[in-house]
Amino acid sequence: MTALLRTSFPVGPLGCNCTLIACPDTREALVIDPGDEAARILEELKARDWKPVQVVHTHAHFDHVLATGAVAGPFHAETCLHKDDRFLYDHVPEQLAMFGMAPPPGPPAALTRELEGGEVLPFGRREARVIHTPGHTPGSICLYLETAGEAPLLFAGDTLFAGSIGRTDLWGGSMDRILESIRGPLLSLPSETEVIPGHGRTTTIGEEREDNPYVGKRARV
């Protein structure tokens, strides 16, 4: 099978990792966390001739959602967010104000699908599985892709980072829940799973299971 097509790049003042993944056979794509810089995201899609069928948010903090409407609109793509983060999405202007930033020009883009966890999101002949991982926010999710002949992929949002975990001192955060989310469904994934976090460098499940100071071996002693 031809390898998955993908690219990740930081957007916005907080450097959210926006990721585009596409089926090599159909060019249908998912856009994960379009946090800002809609023009750049659209340029990347156009240059690759990829057509987004779904825009998926790992959670609803402002730095992961601001370009949603501008990216989804031209393609009539479905916009997806876990239902437990709807209150955050509806209060993006208040989030921005807390960081001393100007509100967006107009209401947020309409969400067309509320997730619960466990869904499979198809794009062409590929699919991504939704894992509900509350803790950073109540509705945080990760996306997991497993294809024969390829290393598994986990798009972890702000739940799991290289050598760290997501902060839990913001709206609806919980240290107990994020630790449970990581130690349960995430660290049980294959060690070779490549982890693309919401910010910063990539890592692997094996590396974090071994060395992560919050959930690795030393933290479990």
Please state, in angstroms and rounded to a whole number, the distance separating the CA atoms of residues 52 and 210.
36
Q: 92-117 burial string, b = 16+ CB within 10 Å, else e? A: beebbeeeeeeebeeebbebeeebeb
What is the pLDDT confidence band of residue 25, given thresholds at 50, 70 and 90? very high
List, in order of start, the domains of the chain with CATH numbers. Answer: 5-220 (3.60.15.10)
Pair of tokens at residue 138: 């109540």
Identify the helix (H) or strand (E) that includes residue 206.
Answer: helix 205-211
pLDDT of residue 106: 66
Contact 127, 153 (CB under 8 A): no
What is the pLDDT confidence band of residue 218, given thresholds at 50, 70 and 90? confident
pLDDT of residue 107: 64
Q: How many residues does the chain have?
A: 221
Q: Residue 221 above 70 pLDDT? A: no
Task: Average the pLDDT over 130-157 and give the result.
Answer: 96
Task: Average the pLDDT over 171-196 and give the result.
Answer: 97
52-91 residue pLDDT tens: 999 999 999 999 999 999 999 999 999 999 999 999 999 9
pLDDT of residue 148: 83
Q: Residue 109 above 90 pLDDT? A: no
pTM beyond 0.85: yes
